[in-house]
Amino acid sequence: MKDYKSAQPCKNGTAKPIWCLIPGMTPQVWADVRFASRWLLKNPVFTLAAVVTLGLGIAANSTVYTIMSAVYLRGLPVDKPEQIVSVASQIADDTQGVSYLDYVDWKGANRTLPVWRHTTRLR
């Protein structure tokens, strides 16, 4: 095994070892990178688990950020979001959504709200 502690520093005008090509990378860092690469190649199950875990974490993070960005940072795509109203029916202590037939009746009897939209909530 090579002794990286006695390696020559990077000098201008000489042939440069690989650790001189990236600023801040010392011979010891490159030795650690090579060791990690060999270890990951020898343990494919761990490597696969690590890659899948990182992929799922990055995907979940970008999904949550996209939703938060769309809803909270950019706001709703309506002219006056402060006028949005949620209507629900309540039976005893359980708040439920509105059935489509109730929606049609309320929309027909409406004299206050200019626009009605029906959406469903997933539980």
Residue position matching structure tokens 């390696």: 7
pLDDT of residue 47: 95
pLDDT of residue 60: 97
Q: Is the pLDDT of residue 43 over 90?
A: yes
Does an H or E element contain 90, and which?
strand 89-91
| Nearest-angstrom CA–CA distance, 18 and 110 | 75
pLDDT digits (tens, 9 = 90+) for 74-99: 766 777 777 777 777 777 666 666 77
pLDDT of residue 122: 47
Q: Model-level pTM greater than 0.85?
A: no
- A 10 A CB-CB count for 11 gives 9
CA of 68: how far to CAs of 61, 62, 73, 75, 80, in Å? 11, 10, 7, 10, 20
pLDDT of residue 55: 98
| Nearest-angstrom CA–CA distance, 27 and 59 | 34
The neighbouring-strand residues paired with 96 are: 89
